[in-house]
Every structure is written in C-alpha cells, then in structure tokens.
C-alpha cells in the first residue's frame, strides 16, 4: 500500500479508502469487521462513513471495529443530510453541525474525527457560518481536518476564499463522484483542485458496479443498477451508448493485463493526477478482495492513455477556446 498527503496538509492516507455505506445493511457486522481488519492489515489506514449511512449504524460498526487501533486510522465522516424530523435537523447551520458532530462522536466511540466533511452544499446557510463552525471544531480538537463533497467548482473556490479572508481552517479534500464513466469533474473542478491543492477522494470509482463484469447490455433485473430510483447508480444514468463503449474498453484492457475490470477502473484513478484515494465499497468479502487487487502494480502509459482517451469528455467551450490560444506555457 502506498500513501499520499491529503491536499494541503501533512496527513498521510492510503491510496485506497474503504467506504462503509453498506455496513449494517447489505454487509452484516461480522463481514464488515473482517473487511476492516483485512484492510488495515494490508496497510490501508483511511475509512469513510457518514452520519446518514444506515441511519448511523455504519458509524457504530466502524467505531467499534477500530477502537483498538484508533490512532492508526484516518477516520472520515460527514454532516449535512437529515438526521432528525424537525426543521433544524438538516443542513450546514452552526446548530446542525454542532449537533451532528456530537452524535457522530458518540456513535463512533471516539473523541475526535480526522476528516469531517460537509456532505453537499447548503444554499440556505451562509458559507461563512458553516466554515466558522468547522473552524471552532478544529480549534476544540473534536475535528482534525475538514473536507467537502458534491460541490460545484464555484462552491469550492468561494469556500477557500472565505477561509483565507477570515483565517478559518480550509478544506483539504473533496469527495466527489469521479470514474471513467463520470468525468464531469474534468470541466473545471479537477483542475481547480490541482491548482489549489485540494485532495480528491472519488466516490463510485467503478460506476456503482457498472464497470464490472456483472452487467450486460440491457436493463438488469437485479442489483443497484436495476433500481429505477437508484439516482446516479441507475441504469438510466449508467447504461448509455457512450458508457457501454467505455466499459468495453475497460474489459478489453483487463483481459490484456490479466486483471479484473474493477481493478483496472480503480488503478486508472489511482494513477490520475489530483486523485488521492478512491473510495471503494464492497457488499461481500469477494468484492472487497477483488477491489484490493488494484494496489501493488502499475498500469502502463499505453493502457492508461487508451482508457483516458475513450472516456474523455467531448470538446466543449470554453475549454477548446482556451486550449486553442494556449501559449504552451504553464
């Protein structure tokens, strides 16, 4: 396992992050514990959860599993979505953040969170209020670093500007959907993250299972992609002609490299500039072990470029305009 610094910080995290959204749901506690143990034994140190995953059950399982190794683990969780039925039971107000962190600390059985992330933008709350609350949590020692998730580029840039102007702690990481079939970050956000040294920790790195051998070319009858309410992981989003062509290229590359499709999709991300630690999830130990096969080897430049080209976004304004008049300098 290799390690990278998380954005503009001295915090070293493993090149893969274990996502725990299924823990306590489709993955029972016993299997969850085995995954965490195997991940830590393999050198992984980065775990991601959220207060809304399985109504807090994921945090409880993770906290219990890492108690004996707490200082070795970089523990990340999130706040933003509804955790109570009253009007202030959601959002990024000072109240909900302070309520949320106390509840998460209790479920996790710890007195600090390494990376506390806002789960998405809250247009009802001034970002100054949100960042001040997060800054206070870092000062208090309950949180070590802060991050964001599911932001537009302007959300991130405004947040960084406010932190600089107010001398608040800044976001060191962003958790965003990014994969060979979800490259919207390439329009603006990824370049901004590289420029401002904000570490990218992608979610859905294998397209919610789409970039595996599990599915064919028609609407599936089982699994996450079969759910019409699956949002970003539904077949309506994933099963486009373009995405099917990308998946075919992944499968061909996997065959050439004698790897699995999941390993190839993850490895492409690991070797992408700006990407710090893809967050992989697993419902079963078999899936977990497959995903862990993404470490310990290098994809050739030829194979990497082939996948990069087939999955690249169409040429768009203003990118093509700027590129046309580029001076070829940094």
Is the separation of the CB atoms in 209 and 225 below 8 Å? yes
DSSP 277: -
CA distances to 55, 112, 314, 324 from 107, in Å: 11, 12, 45, 53
CA distances to 16, 157, 179, 182 from 317, in Å: 34, 20, 22, 19
User: Is 3 an active-site residue?
Assistant: no
- Omega of the bond prior to 125 within 30 degrees of 0, cis? no
Exactly one of 3, 53, 112, 317 is catalytic; which is it?
53
Q: Radius of gyration (Cα) for the chain, nearest Å?
A: 20
What is the Cα–Cα distance from 271 to 304, expressed in whole angstroms? 8
Closest CA to 44 of 23, 75, 22, 67: 75
What is the Cα–Cα distance from 107 to 258, expressed in whole angstroms? 42
Structure tokens at 248: 């075919």
What is the Cα–Cα distance from 10 to 13, expressed in whole angstroms? 10
Who contacts 151 (Cβ-Cβ below 8 Å, separation ≥6)?
A: 120, 121, 159, 174, 176, 189
Residues acting as catalytic residues: 53
């Amino acid at each position: 396992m290799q390690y990278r610094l998380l954005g503009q910080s001295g915090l070293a995290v493993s090149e893969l992050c274990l996502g725990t959204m299924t823990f306590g749901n489709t993955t029972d506690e016993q299997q969850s514990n085995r995954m965490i143990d195997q991940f830590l034994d393999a050198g992984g140190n980065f775990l991601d959860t959220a207060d809304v995953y399985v109504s807090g059950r994921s945090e409880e399982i993770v906290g219990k599993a890492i108690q004996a190794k707490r200082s070795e683990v970089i523990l990340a969780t999130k706040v933003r979505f509804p955790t109570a039925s009253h009007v202030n039971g959601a959002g990024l107000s000072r109240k909900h953040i302070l309520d949320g962190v106390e509840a998460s600390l209790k479920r996790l059985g710890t007195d600090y969170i390494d990376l506390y992330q806002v789960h998405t933008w809250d247009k009802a709350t001034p970002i100054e209020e949100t960042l001040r609350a997060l800054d206070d949590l870092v000062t208090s020692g309950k949180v070590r670093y802060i991050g964001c998730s599911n932001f537009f580029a302007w959300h991130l840039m405004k947040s960084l500007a406010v932190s600089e102007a107010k001398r608040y702690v800044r976001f060191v990481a962003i958790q965003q959907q990014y994969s060979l079939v979800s490259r919207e970050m390439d329009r603006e956000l990824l370049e901004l993250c590289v420029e401002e040294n904000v570490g990218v920790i992608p979610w859905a790195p294998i397209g919610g299972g789409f970039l595996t051998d599990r599915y064919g070319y028609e609407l599936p009858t089982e699994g996450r992609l079969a759910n019409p309410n699956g949002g970003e992981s539904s077949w309506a989003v994933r099963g486009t002609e373009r995405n099917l062509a990308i998946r075919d290229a992944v499968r061909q590359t996997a065959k050439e490299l004698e790897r699995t499709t999941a390993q190839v999709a993850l490895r492409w991300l690991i070797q992408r500039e700006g990407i710090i630690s893809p967050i992989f999830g697993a419902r079963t130990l078999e899936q977990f072990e497959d995903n862990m096969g993404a470490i310990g080897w290098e994809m050739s430049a030829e194979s990497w470029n082939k996948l990069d080209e087939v999955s690249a976004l169409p040429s768009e304004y203003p990118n093509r305009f700027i590129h046309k008049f580029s001076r070829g300098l940094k």
